[in-house]
Structure 1
Amino acid sequence: MGGSIIIALGNAEFAHSVEKVLIRYGFTVSAVCTTAAGALLEISQTDSGLVITEDFMPDMHCSEFAEYLPKYFEMLLLEKAGHVGELENGRMVLQRPVKVADLVNTVSMMLTQLERQKKRDKKKPAPRSWKEKNYIDNAKMLLMERHQMSEEEAFRYIQKSSMDSGTNMAETAQMILMLMIE
């Protein structure tokens, strides 16, 4: 399962016992820290994962800690009070004392969801820049003007030409502009 697991708990003994449980069930723990600042340093060296922490770290509250997390990092809170599975401000919560099965299943579920989210985001095309949009709009206008096409027909023409030539739409629009203006 992808993604780093970073344990950030104020009590080092408890943190290492959580680490041992996760390792026993096949997870890889990247780091164990006793401060949020130490965890953030570890997080900055990876692209995705899960941080297991508690409400109040010695140097930072979990809500502040969560603000510093990058996009592909999730937070699992181990709280002394609360309900298993309760979502608190977008964070998953497990009540302490933590049951091994709950910890293992929750970590597995969160890492799986994180991987799915990353895959979905990779499939999304990057948004077009202003320059690319401008090329496409200008090519559409020129096609509409010179060949009496509707806006939809002009767009489809650029789209089809793009697919036929194996270039992106902005490059195709740029080629159309260069050919038609000269």
Structure 2
Amino acid sequence: MNIIIAFAKPKDLQNFKSILSRGGFDSVSTVSSGMQALSAMEDLGSGVIICGYRLNDMLYSELLTDLPPYFKMLLIASASHVPTETDADNFMFLQAPLKTDELYSTLNLMLEGVQNLRKKAKQRRLNRSDADKKTIDKAKALLMERHHMSEPEAHKYLQRCAMDSGTNMVETAEMIISLNNI
């Protein structure tokens, strides 16, 4: 699973990367800004982002609002920055200074949660009806024909549109088909 470490200070980035490496977490990326974090999350698709209260260009709360669906956030901050809104299911908080075993267990729990989310999404895709599959295939065919996309590009476009609009793939496919008929 993917882990992104996001702290404004390069020293913090290296310290956390070293701690995670000693704990057996190998797939670790480091960034110092929220925009870099969002770009890395988009590229990786799923995982956990470990961050501080303030990055170079935004606060953790701003990053949390733009968190992709298959990412969870672990905020590491001092007692003076304890978050008031901690009821989100994609967010956890550990107070600094922290114990490494507490970090490892929390991170493992979060990574397991991300993995479960992906499994459930895959199961939903496998359980689609034939009519739903045909609708999605028709929308992909339209995208491929009209916009010269490959099948994987059309599929990814449908997924992104569904996420951006807060609808499922079938509803998004139906919108694309109806727009074509106008």
TM-score class, shorter: 0.5 to 0.7
Q: Which residue of 2 aligns with 1:66?
A: 64
Q: Which residue of 2 aligns with 1:112?
A: 112
Deviation at 1:42, TM superposition (A): 1.3
Q: Which residue of 2 aligns with 1:48?
A: 46
Q: Do residues 30 (structure 1) and 22 (structure 2) align?
A: no
The correspondence of residues 30-179 of structure 1 with structure 2, limited to 5 A, is 30-81=28-79, 88-90=86-88, 91-124=91-124, 125-126=127-128, 129=132
User: Is contact 2:74-2:93 (8 Å) kept?
Assistant: yes
Residues 8 and 88 (structure 1), Cα distance of their counterparts in 2 relative to 1, 3 Å cut: same
Shift >2 Å, 4+ stretches: 125-129
- Identity percentage of aligned residues: 30
Q: CA RMSD in A?
A: 2.5
Residues 121 and 13 (structure 1), Cα distance of their counterparts in 2 relative to 1, 3 Å cut: same
Deviation at 1:64, TM superposition (A): 1.3
Q: Which amino acid aligns with 2:13?
A: A
Deviation at 1:17, TM superposition (A): 0.7
Q: Distance in 2 between matches of 1:29 and 1:16?
A: 14
Instruction: State which structure, 1 or 2, has the greater radius of gyration over its C-alpha atoms.
Output: 1
SS at match of 1:103: helix
Q: Can you give the 5+ residue segments of structure 2 that lack an aligned partner in the other structure?
A: 136-182
Number of aligned residues:
129
Deviation at 1:28, TM superposition (A): 1.8
Task: Give per-residue Cα distances to partners, 1:77-111, cap 9 Å, x unaligned.
Answer: 00111799x97142100001121111111111100
Q: Distance in 2 between matches of 1:21 and 1:46?
A: 21
Structure that is richer in helix per residue:
2
